Amino acid sequence: MEDNLVTLAIHTYEKAQRLKSVLEVHGIDACLQSVNQFLPVGTRVRIKESDLPKALGIIEEMNSKDGLNGALEEINKKPMVLLPIDFSDYSMKACEFAFPLAAKLDAEVVLFHAYLPPSFSTMPIGDVINHEGRTEESALELLENAKENLIELESKIEQSISAGEWPRTKYRHVLREGVPEDQILGYAERHQPKIIIMGTRGRDKKDMDFIGSVTAEIIERSHVPVFTIPENIALNGFKEIKNVAFSTSFDDKDLIAFDKMMNLLNTNNVSIHFIHFENKDDRWAEIKLSGIKAYFQQNYPENHFEYHLVPGTDILSAYDEFIHQNNIDAIALTTHKRSLISRLFNPSMARKMIFHTDTPMFVFHA
């Protein structure tokens, strides 16, 4: 299959050399080409078209750090899978996904637990932290209880690893006192994990905590990809995900999100259903969906792709019907940066889906 070269960026020669080095460390072949062979006005960094989504993702990560210099410093750091826990049964379900993925990525798992201090009077109810009885416990008691729960959880993890259910991979725990969502987001901002994996309550238990959900806050505000796992799902890891509904709005960021998702999944024999919701007949949308399918079919030939235009204004109901009809194992959404006012009065689709569906969900931040 022919793989055309495309221009990723144009920089000075020195900066182009550094970008080339970063790309090659990540397994992307790159070549340099002078913009003008007679005048030193710039250097093109050219890569294979099939490497474009991955390269765009690398550049996006560099922009969130310290540019090229920061990216070069990050190369030698061990990647991380961040796993917020509350010691419930669905914390163990999240571990089923986190440990095999960490082994695949040669990453470590960070078991992260945050607890509210006793003096915190207005206590939101969240998916990740159990707040009951906080006011009657001292900070020291809270810490000791968390440590005991961690010992029990790590004992269960070791049993699963020893039984061959999960691969042996490095893991450690982090305990923090404070508002859970703020602590999780702050840690993710500082350490830039590859993904945050969060167990969530079942659909029937989420309705009561719409405002205070920790998981909802994480997916709205995190710049790191998030994967949510409802407690009652039958899947036992990413390897069992075979049908994915990838919601697209035809944004360039979809390329980056898609490549990140495929790096997390067992990419062989996964069927991807590109879906676009519309409330009016739009022939141009169908043409764009067809083009997306053709592009990814060429660059990911081992996978099967379909595209769907889903009519109507009730997107939540449309999702339900689509998931049922197509045996969807996971949903993928891209969310955008929003102000606090927007989040309160006009919740994103990703936030609404957290409380609506019992289907695992990838959320990528554009």
Can you tell me the distance from the alpha carbon of 315 to that of 45, in angstroms, rounded to the nearest whole number? 41
**309 forms bridges with which residues in the sheet?**
276
CATH topology of domain 242-365: Rossmann fold (3.40.50)
pLDDT at 204 over 50: no
What pLDDT does 112 receive? 94
Domain positions in the chain: 5-74, 80-230, 242-365
Element (H, E) at 17: helix 13-25
Q: Which two tokens stand for residue 181?
A: 């969502």
* pLDDT, tens digit (0-9, with 9 covering 90-100), for 206-231: 444 443 378 888 888 888 999 998 87
For the domain spanning 5-74, the CATH number is 3.30.70.1530
Query: In the structure, what pLDDT confidence band is assigned to residue 64 with cuts at 50, 70 and 90?
Result: low
Question: Matching CATH topology for 80-230 and 242-365?
Answer: yes
Q: Three-state SS for 109? A: strand
d(CA 228, CA 354): 8
Q: Name 234's Cβ contacts closer than 8 Å, sequence gap at least 6.
A: none
Q: Residue 322: which pLDDT band, with cuts at 50, 70 and 90?
A: confident
Do 193 and 34 touch, CB atoms closer than 8 A? no
pLDDT band at 284 (very low <50, low <70, confident <90, very high): low
The arrangement of secondary structure in 80-230, i.e. its CATH architecture, is 3-Layer(aba) Sandwich (3.40)
Q: Write b or e for each residue in 8-44: b if 16 or more Cβ atoms lie within 10 A of its Cβ, otherwise e.
A: bbebeeebbebbbebbeeeebebeeeeeeeeeeebbb
| DSSP tag of 224 | S
Residue 137 has pLDDT above 60, yes or no: no
Does the reported pTM lie above 0.95?
A: no
